[in-house]
């Protein structure tokens, strides 16, 4: 088994944090995204989508997409459960995971990829190239602000995002918040519930993964 990783990038960090919470050690190989290693013929042969994280199982099966990789490890290593325990809990975690992903992580990514000069022709990750759209960067910033408000509301009612237990939704949101730091879009100080939660998650050993 091998996990293709890139230490500085936010998406693979989600998987590393998930593995750290589970106490699972997986051999990794670094892919140098900054220098375009994901577009080399060698890496395309591993993952034609040209992205990491990417997991290759012992039988050669490739699993892409952060959440899919995490779900694989949830199945083979169920404890601690990070996708919920019973039907209601699993659905609740999936709901929040989707919101943290779409309203949080993707919104930060939208701003980041539509402003950073290195992504001028690669405003979406993957094998197809798309030009940056400046209005989309602006929209992304509005979305991130709305995301923080939503996060704060939720965390006023609940210790963690999907309820009493830490879950993958917390990982996605936490990495999104750190990712937004690249854009100097930190959580505003007045959002005390979100700040309380951020401090709590940042103190977990997995936050260093």
Report the interface residues with a copy of itself, using CB under 8 A: 55, 57, 61, 63-65, 67-69, 71-72, 75-76, 86-88, 90-92, 94-95, 98-99, 103, 124, 126, 128, 130-131, 133, 135-136, 139, 142-143, 146
Min dist CB 108 to a copy of itself, Å, is 15
Measured CA to CA in angstroms, residue 4 lies from 30, 57, 182 at distances of: 6, 11, 23
- Name the minimum Å distance from CB 87 to a copy of itself: 4
Q: Shortest gap between Cβ of 112 and a copy of itself (angstroms)?
A: 17
Q: Which is nearer to a copy of itself, 42 or 58 (CB)?
A: 58
Q: Read out DSSP for 107-133?
A: HHHHHHHTT-GGGTTBSS-SSS-B---
Q: SS3 of 59, please?
A: coil
Shortest CB 203 distance to a copy of itself, Å = 29
Q: Which is nearer to a copy of itself, 6 or 55 (CB)?
A: 55
Closest distance between a copy of itself and the C-beta of residue 106, in Å?
Answer: 9
Say if CB 18 and CB 70 are below 8 A apart.
yes
Sign, CA dihedral 30-178-63-102, equals negative
Q: What is the Cα–Cα distance from 190 to 168, expressed in whole angstroms? A: 25
Q: Which is nearer to a copy of itself, 65 or 200 (CB)?
A: 65
When the beta carbons of 29 and 65 are compared against a copy of itself, the nearer one is 65
Shortest separation between residue 205's beta carbon and a copy of itself, angstroms: 25
Q: Which helix (H) or strand (E) holds 198?
A: helix 192-202
Q: Which is nearer to a copy of itself, 13 or 154 (CB)?
A: 154
SS3 string, 133-190, reads CHHHHHHHHHHHHHHHHHHHHHHHHCCECCECCCCHHHHHHHHHHHHHHCCCCCCCCC
Distance CA 100, CA 176 (A): 8
Q: Which residue lies nearer to a copy of itself by CB, 92 or 193?
A: 92
């Amino acid at each position: 088994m091998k996990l293709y990783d890139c230490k500085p990038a936010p998406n693979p960090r989600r998987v590393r944090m998930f593995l750290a919470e589970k106490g699972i050690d997986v051999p990794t190989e670094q892919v140098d995204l900054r220098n375009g290693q994901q577009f080399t013929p060698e890496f395309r042969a591993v993952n034609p989508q040209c992205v990491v994280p990417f997991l290759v199982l012992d039988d050669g099966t490739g699993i892409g997409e952060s959440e899919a990789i995490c779900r694989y490890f949830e199945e083979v290593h169920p404890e601690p459960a990070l996708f919920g325990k019973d039907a209601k809990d699993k659905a609740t975690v999936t709901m929040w995971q989707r919101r943290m992903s779409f309203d949080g992580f993707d919104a930060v990514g939208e701003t980041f990829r539509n402003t950073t000069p290195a992504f001028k022709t690669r405003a979406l990750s993957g094998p197809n190239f798309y030009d940056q759209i400046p209005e989309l960067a602006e929209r992304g910033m509005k979305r991130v602000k709305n995301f923080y408000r939503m996060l704060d509301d939720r965390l006023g009612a609940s210790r963690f995002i999907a309820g009493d237990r830490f879950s993958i939704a917390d990982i996605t949101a936490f990495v999104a918040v750190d990712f937004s730091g690249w854009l100097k879009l930190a959580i505003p100080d007045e959002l005390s519930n979100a700040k309380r939660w951020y401090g709590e998650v940042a103190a977990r050993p997995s936050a260093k993964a």
